[in-house]
Structure 1
Amino acid sequence: MSNRNVQIDQFLLLHSARADKWRELTTMADAWAKQQGDRLKLEAILSALEAMEEYHAYPGPQLLAALRESIAANDAGGAARLARRISNGLLTDAYRSRSAEWDVHDEISASEVPDILPPSANEASERRPYFEVLFVNSQPAARWPAFAREIRRLRRREDAFIYEPVMVGSFEDAICATILNPNIVAVVLAEGFPYRSRHDAPILRSVLDPLGEVESADASALRLSSALRRLRPELDVYLLSDREVEKIAGDPNAKGVRRVFYAVEEMLELHLAVLEGVYARYETPFFDNLKKYARRPIGTFHALPIARGKSVFKSDWIRDFGEFYGLNLFLAESSATTGGLDSLLEPTGNIKRSQEMAARAFGADHVFFVTNGTSTSNKMAVQALLAPGDIAVVDRNCHKSHHYGMVLSGAQPYYVEAFPMTEYSMYGAVPLATIKRALLTLKAEGRLDRLKLLDLTNCTFDGHMYNVRRVMEECLAIKPDLIFLWDEAWSGFARFSPFLRPRTAMGAAEEIEDWLRDPASLKAFEAQKAQLGENPGDDALLAARLIPDPRLVRLRVYQTNSTHKSMSAIRQGSMLLVKDVDFHTVAAQFREAVFTHASTSPNQQLIASLDVARRQMELEGYGLVMNAIEIALKIRRSVNEHKLISKYFKALDADDMIPKSYRQSGFEGYIREGTTWADAAKAMHEDEFYLDPTRITLVCGTAGFDGTQFKGLLAEKYGIQLNKTSRNSVLLQSNINNTRSDVAHLIRVLVEICQSIEERLSDGGEGERTAFAARVKSLMTDVPDLPNFSHFHEAFRHDAGRDTPEGDIRTAFFKAYDASVCEYVPLFGAECDKRLKDGPEMVSANFVIPYPPGFPIMVPGQVLTQETIDFMRKLDVKEIHGFEKARGLKLIRSDAIAVAERPRKSKDDKRSH
């Protein structure tokens, strides 16, 4: 196989492929035991598995050797039993807690059932969490079993965790083990290992090349440590050396190393250090204290009757409520911020520590826990970073919380448009050229100093991920102190995938930080400056891949994160992440924003869930996100390659969702024939927009369903829940909760729906087929054009530039509080058409947000145009926030606008004189 010819799903589906191969081997072994199988094929499958199994602790060399010997000795029954035992151990994870699983001679009794069910409400788990440690050394492989036995001898009963060693002997094998084995949470590096694997495995090297890891003379432990940190920054790395350990410990390249040991003279200390490192991630300060609080006898004289549960469990009428949720929920409830608890508004104890640990996990300088959802996180950030009159360049299609944040802060939004996907009634993301043009226009008008913030959604609802580093670098080349707010509500988990992290705010900010410290950054800037000249025109700046001056850059990046949307947090759990070199200048405003928006009665369980979600992602997030990607790829392939389903449904891929001009690499999709892992990696690094593989737009209009209708059918009849719809599609999201059983259920349901369509078309005759075709045409062809933002009325453009579209949204919003200055015009009818044609202009008094598509098509102070009205009239959705069908469009009266406009004209006249 060529060095770059690994199919993308061959690579990204390796985790599930491993389990599938073991089930296949078990089936063949059973057949062989019944004299119906082929021993040679069985040996071939085992040989294929052995290369991958070297990167995992279980089943390990002892069990694999025993299986190989059983096959060689023609012991078909023994081979079948052992194969099934290993396969079941992997399927149920029994090897993590049942030590006998590692014993070649163990036979599980017929009455023993694997512990795979969740514990009951009053049952505490006694198992110790299990993980694996990767040891990279230069010792001969023959010595590895003895070394592993020595490591196991270090275990103690009082250890909080239990781990198994995984032994490899090269740079390549270490990288592959880290990628392929999500159980690895710590790495021990001993100097002296070679670069190349002892296996002739071009497939493994084809995995490495797209990651930028190529053979060189430097195969040092420090280089490997840096490579591992880029892939999985959550890993603890320990270094063993027999040379100047003091010098190594002080090397700047050792910043990712947790501790340096001299050779192997302190193996017990290494063992304890590994356990301590894991505990540093396992600890959940707030949740731990909340558990202690719940175990204490407490007298409650505060205003929370439900606390301790006595009002619930002593009641004949609501006792079922307590039985449903369990006693601990009520024991852990309190309105107090003392006695081991802490205040979310003024954290000084365990909440403060939990937020600091979250900052470490997510690559931020600071983290704020938010218990009112990311809508509140967004409003907090906008309020803290913007003052009245400041300008913010904002994606017009961003979540409504950003628009309301502008109202609260008094900032003036400069709306920029995402590229449209009219066929599916949705928008993509904002092109970089559009953003740069906005900045350059403000600069030309001498107003760049008033621009404070670039506010974008990443990834979008439908999966568009920006090239975040490029966007920030090019904007910083125009305005070096620009602040960035990235709404990553739907993709907080992306931090824990090396294939998605570069497309996140914190991941890109870390890369820019490293670049700014590199002397090569200044050389690159100077080279471009010489190429462009002293005063390049806008056309040249728009065409160039701009490089900022590293001496001037003030890196100020904010990210909001709906922890509950992609991690194991309770509903409304959110985090606000900060990486801002000038945070000290806005820290006071952030405190005020917290006081403004955070409840003085935050939910304790919700805060605890944020603490626990961080713990989980640091310790197993990599494997969970890989599983989510695998699930999504299986759904895509199962839908698009199924003979019946693909007649009526389609899972859109990158070339459907992203115009070719924004896919510079030429990447077309995840399941296209011939698409390799290298192609996907290249697209992730180079393309302007990249499609999050876990977000699947399923076209349902070709089956005769609009999005809302199909969402309702799935929920009401089949128990399948979805979030977002468009006119002719629904959004499927795979997450860390999904299993392959979920995929099977979805596919079975789609088959059933398709069969019912087939039967209806067959039995209904020509009339039914004609009606179906008309319905499909209406949904897929006769789609309304998507309206762009028109403009703010001149009355709401105080201090606005001549060529820039920002407006005073706050004044327009609050003006509508006076009912006497508002009027209503029916959406349908002669009055609306006459106003569009002859005036006076219709100016929206409020936000109007149809669901779907979910973006505001009208904002306060916006002049309504034919384009907007046409779109509204073609909408067939039930839910339109801000629009009362019986009353019509809520507008600001033209005479009230004229009154507001006169003072402004007077000021303009004075300025002109």
Structure 2
Amino acid sequence: MKFRFPVIIIDEDFRSENSSGLGIRVLAKAIEAEGFEVLGVTSYGDLTSFAQQQSRASAFILSIDDNEFVEENRDALDNLRKFVDEIRYRNDEIPIFLHGETRTSRHIPNEILRELNGFIHMYEDTPEFVARYILREARTYLDSLAPPFFKALTEYAADGSYSWHCPGHSGGVAFLKSPVGQMFHQFFGENMLRADVCNAVDELGQLLDHTGPVAASERNAARIYNCDHLYFVTNGTSTSNKMVWNSTVAPGDVVVVDRNCHKSILHAIIMTGAVPVFLMPTRNHFGIIGPIPKSEFEWDNIQKKIDRNPFILDKKVKPRVLTITQSTYDGVLYNVEEIKDMLDGKIDTLHFDEAWLPHATFHDFYGDYHAIGEGRPRCKESMVFSTQSTHKLLAGLSQASQILVQDAENNKLDRDIFNEAYLMHTSTSPQYSIVASIDVAAAMMEAPGGTALVEESLMEALDFRRAMRKVGVEWGADWWFKVWGPDDLSEDGLE
């Protein structure tokens, strides 16, 4: 399938009739002759906004003027450095080329040159040769974008394969036989319908036993999220939670549970026949449910809850799982490393329901306030699970979820037992568009792009808070909304 990723040329003379303008347009025409679209602009205006276009480009060509790059003119170098830095802040793979006279390159500092894919000399080589050189790099870049399952799915949908199995619409053909079906087909489009296939398609792998491109994508996502195992789930984090519990909890097991847990955890308690002891959260005068006090996590206090529970006969029992809602439904986070230090070895499994926190591992802003991430120490005895809703705060389709696992030093995931629980709750007819969206959402979050996406969201949230406070100050004694959060918000930045 051919995707639309134009080559973006930035040249102030792009529409001029001078030699520079004529030369760059000849190059643009040669690129178009190779089947690529060219987007020519005379300036990039707001640099940050322009750099965001890296998501829709296959390469950048920036023309530079030799007369500007002299020792006395530091502004030209500073602008070039900012341009390259803004692109690389979001994308360290997209090709960037400079286009100028031969002697210009000697004025470019090494820290800029090393971020470039090439320097195109204006009056050397033919435009056709230069175009092929640029597009070789662009194609290599584009070929690297799609993660394994999404790549296999797009290739299958574009391959013209007939569907001889379910679903019954047979790649969308059934919809073409009815007026209302025609409407459905036109609304959703042929790609979605051709990609809606049975799990028996060998070349796409198998979600149920984690083979082929599905398994490759789960391994790729595990690498991106810095966990030992990662599993795609198409039934939402409600189902992910039940999978974790059914793989770890048996009838009569004692479990330690956040009283402000999701209903799926209550369902899991009922389904497994576990005996719960609850950790009680706090609530402030706004009605906001806050965190569980640290004292509730102290083992002596958990033991007291076990001692007082009439349904627990063995008072020395080791709880099977701890489940914490992380973050709370009002956005309060727990320091996971403190919880691990307090309960490692006391409870077999530490499960963090991070339905609203899949983004936290991609930015230092969140520190130790999420379950699994780069450089996070392992527990010695307790395995760590994180269940995340890819569809809530990342780019997954509705119901997209995933399960992350970090093995303990002395307690490794039994994949066979886990997969029996996985099979108990997953569908034997998974929607592959959801699987592809989990795959793509993980690829989108790979550094540096994921860090940039999270930082932009954080800055937008903080700027909103600053604006609300500004209105409140200017409004004076009259009533205005208050945004819940720290009182000592800085004037700018992420503090």
Give the TM-score of the pair, scaled to structure 1: 0.40
Change (3 A) 1:146 1:420: closer
Matched, 1:511 2:376: yes
The 5 A counterparts of 1:677-696 are 680=495
User: Alignment partner of 2:359: what SS?
Assistant: helix
Partner of 1:379: 242
Deviation at 1:487, TM superposition (A): 0.6
Deviation at 1:317, TM superposition (A): 2.5
Partner of 1:456: 324
Partner of 2:49: 91
Partner of 2:136: 158
Matched, 1:670 2:493: no
User: Alignment partner of 2:136: what SS?
Assistant: coil
Question: CA contact under 8 A between 1:383 and 1:593: conserved in structure 2?
Answer: yes
Q: Take 2:111 and 2:475, find their aligned partners in 1: how far apart are those partners?
A: 52
Change (3 A) 1:470 1:640: same
Question: CA contact under 8 A between 2:382 and 2:411: conserved in structure 1?
Answer: no
Partner of 1:337: 200
User: Alignment partner of 1:474: what SS?
Assistant: helix
Q: What does the per-residue CA deviation read over 1:121-156, in whole Å, with 9 as the maximum and x for residues that have no partner?
A: xxxxxxx972689xxxxxx99752895598515965
Partner of 1:498: 364
Matched, 1:326 2:189: yes
Q: Take 1:400 and 1:342, find their aligned partners in 2: how far apart are those partners?
A: 33
Deviation at 1:583, TM superposition (A): 5.8
Deviation at 1:90, TM superposition (A): 4.5
Question: CA contact under 8 A between 2:407 and 2:413: conserved in structure 1?
Answer: no
Change (3 A) 1:102 1:435: same
Matched, 1:561 2:388: yes
Partner of 1:570: 397
Q: Work out which structure has the larger RCO, using CA pairs closer than 8 Å and 6 or more positions apart in sequence.
A: 2
Q: Take 1:145 and 1:370, find their aligned partners in 2: how far apart are those partners?
A: 43
Q: What does the per-residue CA deviation read over 1:680-739, in whole Å, with 9 as the maximum and x for residues that have no partner?
A: 5xxxxxxxxxxxxxxxxxxxxxxxxxxxxxxxxxxxxxxxxxxxxxxxxxxxxxxxxxxx
Partner of 1:103: 64
Deviation at 1:101, TM superposition (A): 4.2
Q: Pick from 264, 271, 291 the counterpart of residue 401 of structure 1.
A: 264
Change (3 A) 1:315 1:455: same
Q: Take 1:328 and 1:150, find their aligned partners in 2: how far apart are those partners?
A: 35
Q: Pick from 353, 359, 374 the counterpart of residue 487 of structure 1.
A: 353
User: Alignment partner of 1:308: what SS?
Assistant: coil
Rg larger in 1 or in 2? 1
Letter in 2 for 1:103: I
Question: CA contact under 8 A between 1:130 and 1:161: conserved in structure 2?
Answer: no
Change (3 A) 1:146 1:377: closer
Letter in 2 for 1:568: A
Question: CA contact under 8 A between 2:95 and 2:117: conserved in structure 1?
Answer: no
Change (3 A) 1:439 1:571: same
The 5 A counterparts of 1:705-716 are none
The 5 A counterparts of 1:469-868 are 469-476=337-344, 479-480=345-346, 482-507=348-373, 510-513=375-378, 553-581=380-408, 584=412, 586-619=414-447, 620-642=449-471, 643-644=474-475, 647-654=479-486, 668-671=487-490, 680=495
Letter in 2 for 1:491: L
User: Alignment partner of 1:489: what SS?
Assistant: coil
Question: CA contact under 8 A between 1:307 and 1:332: conserved in structure 2?
Answer: no
The 5 A counterparts of 1:111-130 are 130=94
Which structure 2 residue ranges, 5 or more long, are not aligned? 1-8, 11-41, 67-91, 98-105, 121-132, 309-313
Change (3 A) 1:448 1:501: farther
Change (3 A) 1:313 1:629: same
Q: Take 1:100 and 1:580, find their aligned partners in 2: how far apart are those partners?
A: 46
Letter in 1 for 2:217: S
Q: Take 1:152 and 1:403, find their aligned partners in 2: how far apart are those partners?
A: 58
Question: CA contact under 8 A between 1:374 and 1:574: conserved in structure 2?
Answer: yes
Q: Take 1:574 and 1:321, find their aligned partners in 2: how far apart are those partners?
A: 26
Change (3 A) 1:85 1:404: same
Partner of 1:358: 221
Q: Take 1:585 and 1:604, find their aligned partners in 2: how far apart are those partners?
A: 26
Partner of 2:231: 368
Number of residue equivalences: 399
Q: Take 1:577 and 1:365, find their aligned partners in 2: how far apart are those partners?
A: 8
User: Alignment partner of 2:451: what SS?
Assistant: helix
Partner of 1:265: none
Partner of 2:3: none
Q: Take 1:449 and 1:599, find their aligned partners in 2: how far apart are those partners?
A: 35
Q: Take 1:150 and 1:652, find their aligned partners in 2: how far apart are those partners?
A: 45
Deviation at 1:451, TM superposition (A): 1.0
Q: Take 1:499 and 1:466, find their aligned partners in 2: how far apart are those partners?
A: 14
Change (3 A) 1:149 1:298: closer
Q: Pick from 459, 462, 465 the counterpart of residue 333 of structure 2.
A: 465
Partner of 2:30: none
Change (3 A) 1:156 1:131: closer
User: Alignment partner of 2:373: what SS?
Assistant: helix
Question: CA contact under 8 A between 1:475 and 1:482: conserved in structure 2?
Answer: no
User: Alignment partner of 1:450: what SS?
Assistant: coil
Q: Take 1:405 and 1:468, find their aligned partners in 2: how far apart are those partners?
A: 23
Matched, 1:434 2:392: no
Change (3 A) 1:346 1:315: same
Matched, 1:419 2:419: no
User: Alignment partner of 2:404: what SS?
Assistant: strand
Q: Take 2:370 and 2:206, find their aligned partners in 1: how far apart are those partners?
A: 30
Change (3 A) 1:456 1:304: same
Q: Take 1:450 and 1:594, find their aligned partners in 2: how far apart are those partners?
A: 24
Q: Take 1:566 and 1:150, find their aligned partners in 2: how far apart are those partners?
A: 33
Q: Take 1:570 and 1:468, find their aligned partners in 2: how far apart are those partners?
A: 28
Q: Take 1:500 and 1:141, find their aligned partners in 2: how far apart are those partners?
A: 41
Letter in 2 for 1:459: S
User: Alignment partner of 1:568: what SS?
Assistant: coil
User: Alignment partner of 2:160: what SS?
Assistant: coil
Letter in 1 for 2:419: R
Question: CA contact under 8 A between 2:257 and 2:279: conserved in structure 1?
Answer: yes
Which structure 1 residue ranges, 5 or more long, are not aligned? 1-57, 60-83, 106-127, 134-139, 163-274, 517-552, 655-667, 681-913
Letter in 2 for 1:647: W
Question: CA contact under 8 A between 2:222 and 2:229: conserved in structure 1?
Answer: yes
Question: CA contact under 8 A between 1:563 and 1:613: conserved in structure 2?
Answer: yes
Q: Take 1:644 and 1:132, find their aligned partners in 2: how far apart are those partners?
A: 48
Question: CA contact under 8 A between 1:442 and 1:448: conserved in structure 2?
Answer: no
Q: Take 2:194 and 2:108, find their aligned partners in 1: how far apart are those partners?
A: 55
Question: CA contact under 8 A between 1:369 and 1:575: conserved in structure 2?
Answer: yes
Give me the identity figure in percent: 28
The 5 A counterparts of 1:58-97 are 85-88=43-46, 90-93=48-51
The 5 A counterparts of 1:244-263 are none
Give the TM-score of the pair, scaled to structure 2: 0.72
Letter in 2 for 1:595: L
Change (3 A) 1:158 1:387: same
Partner of 1:523: none
Q: Take 1:653 and 1:483, find their aligned partners in 2: how far apart are those partners?
A: 32
